[in-house]
Amino acid sequence: MRSSGPGSQASPARWVMGLLALAATLPLAGTIWTRSTNVIKIPRGAKETLPNTAYITREWNVVVTGVEVRDDPAPAGEQCLPRWTFYYKNTDSQPHYVAITVQCQDIHRKDRARFTYNATLAPDHKEEFGLEIASKVKVDDWKQTLFVKVTVDFLSTPSG
């Protein structure tokens, strides 16, 4: 015999809400292959290595090897445009996709600025290849930046 008291069965609305919550989380969990995060001193004018920033299989590998930052030579007003060069290798014959998030931090590791850039890493680059990105930052925040937290997400599609 079935019980018909409160709480004995989930209402149809509850089922729908549960399924929607599950459906909303599944695509997010399936799009990032791997993630790497490094906190480094900002490499102004010099190349800094990004250790363990790779997606590797038996047949090929995609590695973000390092980053270099060049200051904006002529900041305009309250904004400046630092140029970031991320170096990578992609030994696969197919392009691969990454989302690069950079958080600029001051001496106390407080976030001052942040940007995310989705990139396609071209195939067949067994030697290091540079990917240049310009970011827009408030001049005061840029002057206070001493460290950067670089997170690289290796994605399954261009849009994540």
CATH assignment of the domain containing 85: 2.60.40
Residue 125 in this model has a pLDDT that exceeds 60:
yes
Rounded to an integer, the average pLDDT of 57-64 is 96
Nearest to 86 by CA among 121, 40, 124, 37: 121
Rounded to an integer, the average pLDDT of 11-20 is 55
Does 28 fall in a domain?
no
Does 7 fall in a domain?
no
Name which residue leads in pLDDT, 27 or 147. 147
Other residues' Cβ atoms within 10 Å of the Cβ of residue 139 = 14
Tokens (6 digits) for 51 = 């250790």
Does 16 fall in a domain?
no
Domain range for 98: 34-155
Q: Helix, strand, or coil here: 22?
A: helix
Nearest to 101 by CA among 68, 146, 148: 148
- Beta carbons of 110 and 152 less than 8 angstroms apart: no
Residue 73 in this model has a pLDDT that exceeds 90:
no
Q: Give residue 28's pLDDT band: very low, low, confident or very high (50, 70, 90).
A: very low
- The tally of domains found in the chain comes to 1
